Amino acid sequence: MKALTKQQLLQRDYQELQLRVTRFSFIEQQLKNAQDKLDHELILYKRLNQFSNKALKSSKVEDFLTIAVEAIVDILEVEAAAIVIRNNGSGVTNLFTEGLLLPTEAMKQEFIADLASLSEIVGKSKSAIIATKRLELLNSLSDYKDAVFHFANDKGLDTSVCLIGLVSVKKAPFYEVLDEKHETIFSLFTQQFLTIVTNFFQHQKIEDQVVKITNSEIELKKLSLIATKSKNGVIITDHKGCIEWVNDSFTQTTGYAYEEVKGIQTINILKNNFHDVEEYKKILKDKKSIEFTSLNRTKQGKPYHSQTEIIPVFDEHQNFINFIYVITDITNEVEFKEEILRMNSRFELIANKSQIGIWEWDRETNVSTWNNILISQYGAEKNKVGANFYNFWRESIYPADQEMVMSNRHKILNLEIDSIEQEYRIIRANDKSIRHLKTLTIGEKDSNGQIIRLVGSSIDITEQKEADEKIKVLKLFYESILNNMPNKILIFNAASELIYYNESMLETQPFWEQHLFHSLYDIVITEVENQSFVNHLIGHIRQAIRLKTTIKFNETIVLNANPTELLNTVLPFYTDGVLEYIIVSGVDITELNLAQVDLVKKNNELVKVNSELDNFVYRVSHDLRAPLLSIKGLISLINFAELNPSTTEYIKLIESSANRMDNSIQDILVYSRNSRLEVKLESINIKELVHEIFNDIKFSTESQIELEYHNDGADSIITDKFRMSTLLKNMIGNAIKYKRDIPDSHIKFHMAQKGKTITIRIIDNGIGISKNSMPKVFDMFYRGSSASIGTGLGLYICKEIIDRLNGKIKLKSKLGAGSEFDIILPVNKL
Amino acid sequence: MKYILIDDDPIINLVHKRILQKVEETAQIEIFISGVKALEYFKANGTDGQVVFLDINMPEMNGFQFLDELLKNKSIKMEGLSIYILTSSLNNKDREKAKGYPILKGYLGKPLNVDAMLNLKGQFSEPVG
């Protein structure tokens, strides 16, 4: 590699230096340009400032607008500018231009319309550069290449403004192209412009109002000369009564405008009694005004009350020239008065309907006024009492209450109290009965605080008082029942608060006394010792309410080591489906339980004794019968052929006696069984039973007798087999035993079931029963005659059996003809 | 025919014995005044087609207790026996209770009489063997 020569090195350094100089000068130029640009912008802002100062000094809006349109050209450095101001309300539009050539009105209108279309595109309160293409579309702006536009609308002033700066195609090369810089500065300009123009317009508006007020003041002064009372309607007529002038109040009251009534007679508008010629003349003669009230209608037909004063006016020569009508609308006053009257009559009606007595006593005149209700409350006659109500009233008061009532009256009169509500008794004048009154007395005071009048009301509460008294007595009555009954009562309200307990409850559970009006849920917390019972109670009450039914539960209470067994009933009490009370009623069943235990024990003992007795009876009957049966057996072994007749007769008598004794033992046994044994129901066939018994007895006694069986219903009936069998044995046995010696001896057995009873009728044609014996046949050990062969127990046992079966027996009989027994038994069910 | 009378009343036993002899001259009759004694007899001699008339109400061992003991004793053959209750009891309970013993041939009231005996004779079972 060859080293560079010194010259080559120098040359290279020089070239480098030259390059740097070139580069530096370029930067310098750029900086200079920027400086110029800033300087130019500063100039523009200075111009904007100058505009503001100048504008603020201008006194007329037109001057200001001229300055403004010139300023646009200056500040934006554009060729031309325009401002359009339009009042939206009136539609008046003003155009101010600079550098624009719009020689005809049509061109001006076209230009204004084009700006309006631009404002629609750009929108409010915004400055915007408008593109050339957009300008080409608008006829009046098609020659322009560049534009900046602003549109504003002030609602308060009801005014819209369009501002525009323009550069034409022709002259474009001489002007700077519009850019953001112009947009910004134009935006600032428009802000200032709008502030100033707003001020102008507001100022204008205020000035206009001041002018208006000044004008109306003048008018008012004019009017006040004639109609000082501006509130009242005023009419001025000429001497013929034709309306010359009316004021605004007249129009307000009557609805007629001045134009409508001018020249017509007042009678067409106001009803009055002033068409009377005499009256008319009198006014003119006396030169005095007159007043009248009337009910009129407005133009719209609405009625109104008026008070009218007609004043005749005379000139200095005392010539009558005018009438002045001053009309006051008194509709409100009239309606108010009517309302008071209505209220009064309504009040009177209420007082009548509700039987309220009302009175008033005027201190100054000492006059009392009573309404009819009060008079009838006191049983007085209006004409008899006259005006002297006070004395009558005082004498009517029940003597014992007089002191209190008069003392209260004095308290009001002495200003100790304002009013008094009290109850006292009176003696009614007509029937001298004592009545209870509830009264209110009020003292009415004047502005000095002195009583000028007493007013009062009175209600007869005798019936109510009596009813209250009755309820009180009834309450005491029920309370004394509740307190003295052995049941232990607690009553809770729907909120589970204890509202009642009776004395009996406190005997076993004294703690309830501490909890009157306490909630059950508080009681359960505080009553630690009785928590278990209260808890159970709460549970059962909840259940009773849930199921809407009565709940029973047992609880053992221990008080002073004495256990008490309570059977409690919880009854939720409803009125119209709403829970009102919960009634807890406890019965002390300690004794009952003991008694029950005792009863069971006794019953067991009785059953045992009964059974023993039963065994004893059988035992005795068996032991009594055993030797009898031996006797009977021995007799049967005797060969009567070996004996002489008298011995045979004795032995036969022995046999007969043994038989009777055996019958007696058997009867007593049956009687004993009937009285001790429980009724045992079972289904039996009555037909079979009757035939079996009949045949047994018939054959064992070798009797000639027939049975007629008749049954309307079923043969099978439910009854006690042993008793029915014993009963039929006795009845049929008797019929056979006491049959007559006639060929057609018979027994008729008839049975009929009707409803809930069975009737068994046993009819025979035997010897019958004498009248004397009939009442006694069912007695114990009664025998119709000494010839009777029975024990005297048969029918007695029948009667006893029928009693045990809850039946009845009736007897019809005729001596020598036969007997009829009616046995009526209830139908049983298994 | 062999008859066995079990009753604590000697007079009624005599009456019954005579009635049986009236109906059947050749009747062989054994009398026991207690169930205990009768039981001993059966244990010692077995059964031999006898007709037994058994009273209910007896001291020591009543009629039903006697039957229970008899049935308990397997060595005594019951097929050979015709047992009748012969009682003066009017107690229905006794009659009901008797229905619980199928071995019983009948329930009779005292005293036996000739007619009733003649009726019964046809029913008596023949001795075994």
Q: For chain A, give the mean pLDDT.
A: 84
| Domain limits, chain B | 2-120
Is residue A266 domain-shared with residue A408, that is, in the same domain?
no
Distance, in angstroms, between B34 CA and closest chain A CA? 16
Is residue A323 domain-shared with residue A237, that is, in the same domain?
yes
- Please check whether residue A112 is in contact with residue A92, taking contact to mean a CB–CB distance below 8 angstroms: no
Which domain covers residue A358, as residue numbers?
354-466
A611 shares contact with chain B (CB less than 8 Å): no
A766: its two tokens: 């035997």
What is the structure's pLDDT at A787?
60
Q: What is the mean pLDDT of residues A425-443?
A: 91
- Please check whether residue A498 is in contact with residue A516, taking contact to mean a CB–CB distance below 8 angstroms: yes
Residue A439 belongs to domain with CATH number: 3.30.450.20
User: Is the per-residue pLDDT at B129 higher than 50?
Assistant: no
B18 shares contact with chain A (CB less than 8 Å): yes
A265: its two tokens: 């007679």
Contacts of A669 in chain B (CB under 8 A): 90
How much is the CA Rg of chain B, to the nearest whole Å?
A: 14
- The answer as to whether A80 is a domain residue is yes
Contacts of B92 in chain A (CB under 8 A): 722
- Please check whether residue A426 is in contact with residue A397, taking contact to mean a CB–CB distance below 8 angstroms: yes
Q: What is the mean pLDDT of residues A607-614?
A: 84
Q: Which helix (H) or strand (E) holds B52?
A: strand B51-54
- The answer as to whether A93 is a domain residue is yes
Tell me which amino acid residue A403 is: E
The strands making up A144-154's β-sheet, listed across from edge to edge, are: A93-98, A80-87, A159-168, A144-154, A126-130
Record: contact A633-B89, CB cut-off 8 A = no
Report how far apart the first and last C-alpha atoms of chain A are (Å, whole number): 151
B17 shares contact with chain A (CB less than 8 Å): no
Is residue A286 domain-shared with residue A376, that is, in the same domain?
no
Closest CA to A671 of A781, A594, A580: A781
A622 shares contact with chain B (CB less than 8 Å): yes
Record: contact A630-B16, CB cut-off 8 A = no
B15 shares contact with chain A (CB less than 8 Å): yes
Is residue A202 domain-shared with residue A295, that is, in the same domain?
no
DSSP 8-class letter at A772: T
Residue range B2-120, CATH number: 3.40.50.2300
Is residue A285 domain-shared with residue A362, that is, in the same domain?
no
B115 shares contact with chain A (CB less than 8 Å): no
Specify the higher pLDDT residue, B2 or A123.
Answer: B2
Please name the member of A625, A637, A669 whose beta carbon is closest to the beta carbon of B18.
A637
User: Is the per-residue pLDDT at B128 higher than 50?
Assistant: no
A286: its two tokens: 């006396």
Is residue A239 domain-shared with residue A115, that is, in the same domain?
no
A715: its two tokens: 């043969």
Distance, in angstroms, between B129 CA and closest chain A CA? 35
B96 shares contact with chain A (CB less than 8 Å): no
Listed in sequence order, the residues at least 6 apart from A225 whose beta carbon sits closer than 8 Å to its beta carbon are none
Record: contact A630-B57, CB cut-off 8 A = no
Q: Determine if residue A143 is left, alpha or beta; phi over 0 gives left, psi from -120 to 50 gives alpha, anything else beta.
A: alpha
Which range has highest mean pLDDT (A12-26, A282-296, A376-390, A685-699)?
A685-699
- The answer as to whether A693 is a domain residue is yes
Q: Which residue of A has its CA nearest to B14?
A: A634
Reduced to 3 states (helix: H, G, I; strand: E, B; else coil), residue A243 is: strand
**What pLDDT, in 10s, does the model give residues A499-520?**
999 888 888 889 999 999 999 9
Contacts of A634 in chain B (CB under 8 A): 11, 15
A619 shares contact with chain B (CB less than 8 Å): yes
DSSP 8-class letter at A328: E
Distance, in angstroms, between A659 CA and closest chain B CA? 12
- The answer as to whether A723 is a domain residue is yes
Is residue A244 domain-shared with residue A324, that is, in the same domain?
yes
Specify the higher pLDDT residue, B106 or A273.
Answer: B106
Quickly list DSSP for A194-258. Answer: HHHHHHHHHHHHHHHHHHHHHHHHHHHHHHHHH-S-TTSEEEEE-TTSBEEEE-HHHHHHH---H
- The answer as to whether A363 is a domain residue is yes
A669 shares contact with chain B (CB less than 8 Å): yes
Contacts of B57 in chain A (CB under 8 A): 619, 622
**What pLDDT, in 10s, does the model give residues A217-232?**
665 555 555 555 456 7
Helix %, strand %, coil % of chain B (to 5): 40, 20, 40
User: Is the per-residue pLDDT at A666 higher than 80?
Assistant: yes
pLDDT band at A197 (very low <50, low <70, confident <90, very high): confident
Q: What is the mean pLDDT of residues A577-587?
A: 92
- Please check whether residue A634 is in contact with residue B15, taking contact to mean a CB–CB distance below 8 angstroms: yes
Is residue A782 domain-shared with residue A811, that is, in the same domain?
yes
Length of chain A: 830
Is residue A45 domain-shared with residue A194, that is, in the same domain?
yes
**What pLDDT, in 10s, does the model give residues A155-174?**
777 788 888 888 887 777 77
| ipTM attached to this prediction | 0.78
With the C-alpha atoms ordered A550, A557, A498, A507, is the resulting torsion angle positive or negative?
A: positive
**What pLDDT, in 10s, does the model give residues A277-324?**
666 777 777 777 777 788 888 888 888 888 888 878 777 677 777 787
Domain boundary among A301, A335, A369: A335
Length of chain B: 129
Is residue A683 domain-shared with residue A804, that is, in the same domain?
yes
Tell me which amino acid residue A656 is: S
User: How many domains is chain A built from?
Assistant: 5
The strands making up A757-764's β-sheet, listed across from edge to edge, are: A706-711, A746-754, A757-764, A818-826, A808-814
Contacts of B18 in chain A (CB under 8 A): 637
Record: contact A636-B113, CB cut-off 8 A = yes
Distance, in angstroms, between B19 CA and closest chain A CA? 7
Q: Which residue of B has its CA nearest to A669?
A: B90
Reduced to 3 states (helix: H, G, I; strand: E, B; else coil), residue A319 is: coil
Domain boundary among A538, A558, A588: A588
Record: contact B15-A669, CB cut-off 8 A = no
Distance, in angstroms, between A668 CA and closest chain B CA? 12
A631: its two tokens: 């006797």
Q: Is the pTM of this model over 0.80?
A: no
**What pLDDT, in 10s, does the model give residues A86-145?**
888 788 888 888 888 888 888 888 888 888 888 888 777 777 888 888 888 888 888 888
Residues A126 and A512: their CA atoms lie apart, in Å, by 89
Contacts of B114 in chain A (CB under 8 A): 636
Size of the A and B interface in Cβ pairs below 8 Å: 50
Catalogue the long-range contacts made by A655-663 (C-beta closer than 8 Å, 24 or more residues apart).
A655/A631, A658/A628, A658/A631, A658/A632, A659/A632, A660/A789, A660/A791, A661/A624, A661/A628, A662/A625, A662/A628, A662/A629, A662/A632, A663/A790, A663/A791
A434: its two tokens: 């004592």
Is residue A715 domain-shared with residue A792, that is, in the same domain?
yes
Closest CA to A71 of A196, A159, A160: A196
A171 shares contact with chain B (CB less than 8 Å): no
- Please check whether residue A778 is in contact with residue A795, taking contact to mean a CB–CB distance below 8 angstroms: yes
A828 shares contact with chain B (CB less than 8 Å): no
- The answer as to whether A44 is a domain residue is yes
A546 shares contact with chain B (CB less than 8 Å): no
Q: Determine if residue A818 is left, alpha or beta; phi over 0 gives left, psi from -120 to 50 gives alpha, anything else beta.
A: left
User: Is the per-residue pLDDT at A85 higher than 70?
Assistant: yes
Is residue A755 domain-shared with residue A800, that is, in the same domain?
yes
Domain boundary among A306, A335, A364: A335
